[in-house]
Structure formats: structure tokens, C-alpha cells
Chain A
């Protein structure tokens, strides 16, 4: 057998699994979005009925979209900016061992399960002045305790603040890899030309890691639109729906209310949103080869 055929043969299991477990359910979800399919009942074709219900009749759909927009913008900002700053600072540490230590400190945090992290933050923001760390700190400065997640006026802000200082491990590593990949010659040339730290970042480093920036942007858009784990664990969409996101609505439709068709339709809508935003990022964030 030719070497090329051998390679194709070996790839078959991978493609078969991918097709079965990734593309299969995806296509099935597309198909089911056009059916009314509830527990114990047969599927009934409803055409665009599910989409019409979501877009024009579901009180929570647009409400959750607004919440998602706010959370997405802040999430993308957090994931784009803070890890980048951390990566730049670490990359500029002269001592290689110290640089490695800083990097490891941030990476080690990755091994903590996200559920545990959310539970810790839930406790930090406990409304009780004695139980919640945040309110205890407030008390030290003579400030009144805040209800945090329990107050509809502060719940969304509290979710945004969760995870402070937001130095996410994976984006930071991707940025750091990009920064460390910049040719030493370019760095030396910049130093000889007397470029200051800010100029160095904006004029040299940022343009050279724009590929990483685009990658992080796409990943963060996808996760911010689809994510509901944090909201589910911290507030379950409450109080009074002030933190309800479309991902949670999709989960509720499909799992809690057993309206599979409606859940699939919402999944399709979210997919289209992610696709549009991804194409937008591809179109406007271009990689330019400076070298």
C-alpha cells in the first residue's frame, strides 16, 4: 500500500469519530430546530415556529441577549487585555528563572477546577458581613456591606468582577508564546533605535502578535456567547433574571423543560451569532507580516 493511502487509512477513525460525535449532533441539532419535540411526544414539524417564538414571543430571549452582550463585552475585554499585560510584563523580566516562576504561578491556577473557583467566589461575595470576605474587607474601611449576587442592582457587576484580577492562564500563555517568538534581532533593533516601553509594545510587539490576538478574540467570543457555567453556579440567572444568559436559557429549554426543539433552535441562533462575530474578527483583525 502506498504511503499516502496508509496515512488516509489511519485518519479514518479520527474522521469517523469526529463526524459521529461532533458534526453528527451538530447537524441533528440543526434538523431538530424545526420541530416541536417535547417529552413523551412525537416530533412535530413546525418550520420556523421555534425561531419565531424565541425572537418574538419569548420574554427571556431578548432580555438574556442584553445580559449576554454586557457580559461578552466585559469578558472579551478582560481576556484580551489583562493576560496580555501579564504576558508583556513577564516577557520583560530579565531573569529567566524568575520569568519561569511568574509564568508557572499563573499556569498552576489552571489546574484548580472551575467549579471550585466559582464556589470560592460565591463565598467571597457572601452577603453576610461575617461570612463574606469582600464585605469583611469593606467593614475594615467602615463601608456598609453589599448584597453582591443577592441584589439585582449589583448581581451582574459582581459576575463581571468575579475572577479578579482575570489573569487567565491560557490566553496569557498564548500571548507569551507570541512575544517570545519575536526575533531577538527585532528587539535589539528597537533598543538601538531608543524605543520606549510603550512604543515598543504598541509599535513592535502588538503588531507582531496580532495572530494571537485574533485567536484569543475568536475563542473569547465563542466562550462568552455560549458560556453559562459561571452564571449557573453563581446566580442561576437570578435574582429575578438579572443575570440570565442565552446559554442558560438553552440549557433550561433542552434539559429542564424538555423542549428539545426549542433548545436546538436557540443553539442555532447562538451558532449564527458566533459565526457572524468570527467572520467579523477575521475580516477586520488582519495579520500583517512585519518581518
Chain B
């Protein structure tokens, strides 16, 4: 083994990773790796903000130099003594994903990794989302998939149940030959990342890599000029919208054409209305033996209800799509929609973005990932004296002002966005498997994760609690409600649900008609879940046999 490699591995084993397993990300050596992280993070940001030419090799050298420097700063007492070398032949590990805004920073990261591991080359390929989906389908089935692939859970992780994806749980207990053979790989992966994606049966098919959230982006400069405070309660929202309208602005530009943002906000409203019933609906939460997982298909991170809970809530009438709570949601949305532009129900995403960018609208609904591109656009295309600031508002908590619809816990609108999976071709074993795990753990090291993640437009709440974010976002995360998941997640039924939503706001349906159709959608959803055996058969039997 080459001495320089031994030195580097020693560093990698020490200050950054050895502290992770039991204490989250911050523990006894936190100060040490914070210092390292801050140094590298600042450097990455400086490179980006100065708009230097995209000279990847220079950036690779910079990062590698930082790491070399860091390694010289001292080894952790936990650094192992016996370190096995990587193989001498060049090994290529392929990563295919669809999040193009990570591409540049990941290339830098993999360049730095190559400096540390000269015998390993990580090749990154970006696929369009649809293309990636087909790649997953075809390459996995033909046993020819790349080692690491991006995925969109929970949908793509269904392949795991079919046996096509690597169950990390089965390999993480392998000895880690590059850091300390006496310790397993598990010790160098962030525990949070593993736990948030663990399935009910304990398996882990996917490692989380980013999150997607939605909210109201607003013209912060306009708010400041008009002396408007950040609205938080429903009443404050209505008052602010009224004031904006009086000043000649469209308070909120809305795209009613089907979009993830529109569905998510509608879902947030429904969730808020039913939040009070969360303990009754989400009955498994109180059971410490029950875990939520990606295979629920309802969602992730254990915040949403699962098929059993939905089935029970629907059958017992706790969740009634025709009831008052649902009607309340639609009434409140109608109230809010008075502050949207004309023809909002059929407006597309471009229209709302245009209205916002051209200063006609004060807010619009979009994913948090849109903030940075908009800031960039304003910086590049607007004259300095015409530039303005964009930030994000908390979702209004209308239910707080109605005692019957009080909110419970507040979390976020959104969640786990994209993740990484490994295929299980026959070739992914032995040393290749270890190298793949090494690449993954390098990507998931808080230091490196932060450098890539903060460089992306998705500068929202990070997956790891210790990584700070923009104060505006922080306020958003702190206030936004969590997702119960009461809008169908199955795409076809979600489309149908939204179709009725549109028809109602276009005046084509009365509330009674809408309620009947929504009820039909939920009934069909549950029928499919039962047919696919995603609802516990004992529960189904109990209800079909008339036992509640």
C-alpha cells in the first residue's frame, strides 16, 4: 500500500466518519470536522460566487489539496492501523441519475475522490427523468444496470421488493477493508440517512439524497417596500392579500393546470383540516413496534399514514371525503383563490412564473428548488437598480384560527425527493461491492454532501439536521405542516382527483357532486391497495366481516 494513500484513508476514517453512528452527526469530534467542513464549504461557495471558469481540474486540485491539508491536521484516535489497499487495476463505478444540477459539483467531488483513490474512476451520467425510469426498468431486468442509480422513491424502490435492488442492510455489516476491517461499513454511513429510509421489514433499498418541498415564493423587496409583515395565520394572509390587491398587484399567481406544486398545496390544506384527527388516523405511530417505510408507497420518513391506516380511517368514517372537514378545505381554498389571477384554474406553470417575474404578482406557488434559478435570473437579466429579492413564505395555517380544525405538529410540505439505489447484478460483489460502498459513503459524508447539496438550487432543508440553511427557509420549514397523505398517491387516481378539483373550481360541479366523485376516487384507491395486498389482509377481513 502506498503511504500517501494510507495517510488519506487514515484521515477519512478519523475526524469525519468515526463519530457518526451513535450520536447523529455531532458528537465528541464534531468540532474537528466542523472546522474542516467550514473550511471546505466556504471554499466551494467562494468558487461558485466568483463565477470562475468551469475548470473542473482546478477545483479538483483545490478540494484534494484541502483534504490533504486536513489529513495533515491530525488523525483521529480512532483511526485504524491496518488498512488494506484498493486493487491496483482501474475500476470504473458508474452513477446514473437525473438531477442535473448536482452534476458539476458531483464531478468535482468524484475528481477529489479519484485523487484519494487513484485506482477508482466514478463515471457520472445524467439521464432525463423519464429516461432514467426506463433505464431502471430495462437495465435492472436485464441484469446490466450501473452500480449506482438515482431513483424516485417510493415508486422506484418497488424494484427492491422484486429483488432487483441491493438491500444495504445485508451488506453494511461486511467488514470495511479500507478504513478498519474490524469494523463494518455501517459505522461510516450517517445513521440518519439509513434510518429514514428503512422499511418496515428492516430492509434498506435506497439512500436519500435530497428533498422536494413546495411553498409560496414571494417578492421580498415588494413586501418590504409596502411595509408588509410576513403573514403566518390565515387572517394575516387574507389581510396581506387584500393590501396587495389594493396596491394593484395580483397577490398570488397560481397554476391550476395539473402540477405537483398545486397538488402538494391542496394536500397540505387537506392535511391541515384533518390534522386534529392524526392520532386517530395515524394510529400506528403510537406503536413502537411499527415502522414506516418506503414500500408503503404513501411516502417516506414515517410522516404519512400507511395503507392500513387509510383503510381503517375510511372504513370507520374517521376520514370522510364527503364530510364537513373536506368541504371546509374546499371552502377555504375558494376563499384563498379570490386572490389568484383570472383563469387561474387553467393557467400553466409558465404563466404564473411570468406574472411573478414581471412584477404583476407578489407570490406564486412553486417548489423550493425554483428559488435559486429565479434569483440567478434576476441577477443576470435585470438591471442592478431593478433587481429584487425572492424568498419563501410559510404555508398559511388557516386551521389555527378555527378551534375545530386546530393543527397539531408542524413539519414540512414535501419530503424525500431523490435517492440512490444499487443494482444487484452478479458482478456487484467482493471488491467491486466494497468500492461501490466506499464511493457512496464518500458522497454521504456530511462534509461532501453539504458541499454538493448547497451548490444545488435545492437549498432547502437538508436531509441532515445539522446542516444549516437559509434563514428564510428555516422559517418555512419550522412552520409548514407535514403531509398526512390524504390525496391519492397513485398517479392515475391523483389525476382524476385533480380533474374533479378543477371541475369544482370551474363551476362545473356542485359540492355534492364533487363529494360523490371524490368518494369514488378514494374507494377506488383503497380497492386497488387491497387488490395489490398493500393493506393487511386481516384488517380487510375484519371490516368485510362487519367487525370494526
Contacts and interface: CB of A to CB of B under 8 A. Distances in A.
Contacts, number: 56
Given A40-B158, A40-B159, A150-B346, A240 B502 contact: yes
Interface residues of A, number: 21
Interface stretch (B204-212, B476-484, B488-496): B488-496
Contacts of B258: 236, 238
Contact of B499 (A241, A253, A257): A241
B496 A59 contact: yes
Interface string A125-144: 00100000000000000000
Contacts of B492: 252-253, 256-257, 259
Query: Chain A: interface secondary structure?
Result: loop
Contact of B508 (A39, A240, A253, A256): A240
A252 B492 CA distance: 8
Interface string A239-263: 1110000000000110011010000
A238 B344 CA distance: 13
Contacts of B491: 256-257
A41 B346 CA distance: 35
Interface in B502-522: 502-503, 506, 508, 517, 520
A286 B503 CA distance: 45
Contacts of A252: 492, 495
A152 interface: yes
A40 B346 contact: no
Contacts of A152: 503, 506, 508
Given A40-B137, A60-B496, A240 B159 contact: no
Interface residues of B, number: 24
B506 A240 contact: yes
A39 B141 CA distance: 11
A67 to B, nearest CB: 13
A51 interface: no
A149 B506 CA distance: 13
Contacts of B159: 40
A40 B205 CA distance: 15
A239 B314 CA distance: 30
Contact of A39 (B158, B343, B347, B503): B158
B253 interface: no
A147 B508 contact: no
Contact of A239 (B155, B158, B345, B520): B345
Contacts of B342: 127
Contact of B162 (A40, A150, A151, A236): A40
Contacts of A259: 492
B257 interface: yes
Nearest to A253: B492
Contacts of A238: 257-258, 346, 502
Interface in B322-359: 342-343, 345-347
Contact of B503 (A147, A151, A240): A240
A151 B343 CA distance: 8
Contacts of B520: 59
A72 to B, nearest CB: 22
Contacts of B508: 152, 240
Nearest to A126: B351
A38 to B, nearest CB: 9
Nearest to A152: B506
Given A40-B162, A150-B347, A239 B496 contact: no
Contacts of A39: 137, 155, 158
A41 B158 CA distance: 9
B506 A127 contact: no
Q: B258, B345, B347, B520 — which one has the most chain A CB atoms within 10 A of its CB?
A: B345
Contacts of A41: 158, 162
B141 to A, nearest CB: 9
A41 B347 CA distance: 36
Interface string A50-70: 000000000110000000000
A150 B343 CA distance: 7
25 contacts: A39-B137, A39-B155, A39-B158, A40-B137, A40-B158, A40-B159, A127-B343, A147-B343, A150-B345, A151-B346, A152-B503, A238-B257, A238-B346, A238-B502, A239-B346, A239-B502, A240-B499, A240-B500, A240-B502, A240-B503, A240-B506, A241-B499, A241-B502, A241-B503, A256-B491
Minimum-distance CB pairs A-B, first 5:
A240-B503, A150-B346, A240-B502, A239-B346, A40-B158
Given A59-B496, A152-B503, 6 more contacts: A39-B155, A41-B162, A238-B258, A240-B500, A253-B492, A257-B491
